[in-house]
Amino acid sequence: MTLDPVIHHRAKQAAKRRGTTFSGLVAHLLHQALESQPARSHGQPSFSSQWAGRGKLAGQSGARFEKLRAKRGL
């Protein structure tokens, strides 16, 4: 993360007043911001639902693949 030096200095002072670190202040503010927003915006489907069942196996030969095939039931 890159911040303007003046903002960084002011944020460090604010953190000190609150009895925390700069990182703690940033983490707290990010947590607050994320809690107030819906988990998914714009009705987008989750990553896993978009890609479920679309993977293809590459390099389907060799001892390593055969062990994975047996272990995972491929």
53 in a structural domain: no
- Specify the number of domains making up the chain: 1
Cα distance between residue 29 and residue 1, in whole Å: 14
Query: What confidence tens digit (pLDDT) does each residue in 10-26 have?
Result: 999 999 999 999 999 99
When pLDDT is averaged across residues 47-55 and rounded to a whole number, the result is: 79
When pLDDT is averaged across residues 60-74 and rounded to a whole number, the result is: 82
Q: What is the pLDDT of residue 39?
A: 62
Looking at the whole model, is its pTM more than 0.75? no
23 in a structural domain: yes
| Number of residues assigned to the chain | 74
- Compute the half-sphere exposure of residue 59: CA atoms within 13 Å on the CB side of its CA: 5
> What is the span of the domain harbouring residue 4?
1-37
71 in a structural domain: no
69 in a structural domain: no
Place of tokens 């944020």: 11
